[in-house]
Structure 1
Amino acid sequence: MDENEIILENDNGGEEEAKDLIKKLKEKLKKCEEEKAEYLSGWQRAKADFINARREEEELRKEIVKFSEKNLILDLLYLADSFDAFFRHQKDKKIKEEDEGIKNIYQQLMNIFKSRGVEPINCLGEKFNPSEHEAIEEVKVDEKEKDGIIIEEIRKGYKMHNKIIRASQVKVGKFNN
């Protein structure tokens, strides 16, 4: 006789046997339901973990693609620095026709940067922020309002997709009584 089979006999003890059997079956059913709930819960956690892992992997992949050009951009920033130095040098001189061509090339470079999510950090007159600026020198200022304010930009800083890829090198005002 299989323990899952129910055989009822017509004698007086059969009723007791049936009650015992029902009690055992209820206990077994309860145990099976608990196991089922445990397995279901484990499966649901595993499924959620898998979905979260897939989402994290996709976000990481997007981040890698987004910043895959970062090293090339950093190399090209030195070219932009050369243009900036040229324009600073030419600032006081009369602009020649060939200088207009150079300005156009510089503008094309800036457009390429912009299309790749790269933008310069504007810092002149701003409060010094160590996460965006690198202080090269402190300059004595006579006005208290200029204390901690960026007085001069030595080298432009840049952000790529709103993350700093190169801090601005700056001179910061320092007020002394």
Structure 2
Amino acid sequence: MQRAIYNSLVKSVPRAAVSLRAAPRSSVLAFQPFTGVRFNSTKAEPEVKATEKEAAAETGANENASEATEAAEEKSQETILQEKLAEKDKALAEMKNHYAQAIADFRNLQQITTQEVKKAKDFALQKFAKDLLESLDNFTLALGSVQEETLKANEEVKNLFDGVSMTRNVLEKTLERHGIEKIDPMGEQFDPNQHEATFEVPQADKEPGTVFHVQQLGYTLNKRVLRPAKVGLVKDVEN
């Protein structure tokens, strides 16, 4: 049985070869046995070109994507730098404001310190001056207690009176040089800021509120009342 199959195959080989030699090239290629590779050149060339186009397109897309990424990164860095610059400008403006405020505060402090020093200097003698005013009051009382007739009749009393009067005048001038001035409101209108009313007397020939008697002289220290003057006022007759 095997021998018969082998003989039939041998007889058929020359005929198959003849038929292959006589057949066209295209049909031969079409009927070649499959070996894993296609030899159809008409279809392979377009496929290669399409592959090359796809690769070129993919390369261009990759390049465009890379450029877009670089541009985005550059833009991002520029935005970050702009934000940092804005923060620096804001910090600089705040620093300038603090500096200007510090200068203003320092100048105000200088002015306040200067004023305080001036006040301390102007009124440093306030307590001492008040003590001296009592001595002036005593001199005034002593001189006011001497009668004019006594001065004319007694030369020694007159000399003593003149000496006490000169001492009082020297003391008053010394106080004036240090800003202490006398308040003598005789005949003036009552001023509650400088005068202290101790009594009132009605007088028809004088305007109500007029000082007609000075019980105690007042004094100011650098234009500030050190002691008000004690006075007697004219009272309204109808009241």
Class of the TM-score when normalised by the shorter of the 2 chains: 0.7 to 0.9
Select 2:217's aligned residue among 152, 156, 161: 156
Q: 2:143, 2:164 within 8 Å by CA — same for their partners in 1?
A: no
How big is each residue's C-alpha offset from its partner over 1:106-138, in whole Å with a ceiling of 9 and x where there is no partner?
111011111110000121111111110110001
Counterpart for residue 140 of structure 1: 202
Question: Bigger CA drift: 61-70 or 108-117?
Answer: 61-70
User: 1:32, 1:149 → 2: CA distance?
Assistant: 73
Alignment of 1:94-133 (within 5 A): 94=151, 96-133=158-195
Counterpart for residue 167 of structure 1: 228
Counterpart for residue 41 of structure 2: none
Counterpart for residue 64 of structure 1: 120
Select 2:130's aligned residue among 64, 67, 74: 74
Post-superposition offset of 1:23? 2.1
5+ unaligned residues in a row in structure 1: which ranges? 1-9
Output the TM-score relative to the length of structure 1.
0.87
Highest Rg: 1 or 2? 2
Q: 2:184, 2:214 within 8 Å by CA — same for their partners in 1?
A: no
Q: Percent identity?
A: 25
Counterpart for residue 6 of structure 1: none
How big is each residue's C-alpha offset from its partner over 1:58-88, in whole Å with a ceiling of 9 and x where there is no partner?
2212211221111111011011011111222
User: 1:91, 1:121 → 2: CA distance?
Assistant: 25
5+ unaligned residues in a row in structure 2: which ranges? 1-65, 153-157
Matched, 1:176 2:237: yes
User: 1:149, 1:26 → 2: CA distance?
Assistant: 80
User: 2:81, 2:147 → 1: CA distance?
Assistant: 94
Alignment of 1:8-19 (within 5 A): 11-19=67-75
How many residue pairs get aligned? The number is: 167
User: 1:91, 1:76 → 2: CA distance?
Assistant: 26
What is the RMSD computed on CA atoms of the aligned residues? Answer: 1.7
Counterpart for residue 42 of structure 1: 98
Post-superposition offset of 1:91? 5.3
Choose between structure 1 and 2: higher helix proportion. Answer: 2
Choose between structure 1 and 2: higher strand proportion. Answer: 1
SS in 2 for 1:176: coil
User: 1:165, 1:78 → 2: CA distance?
Assistant: 13
Matched, 1:25 2:87: no
SS in 2 for 1:90: coil
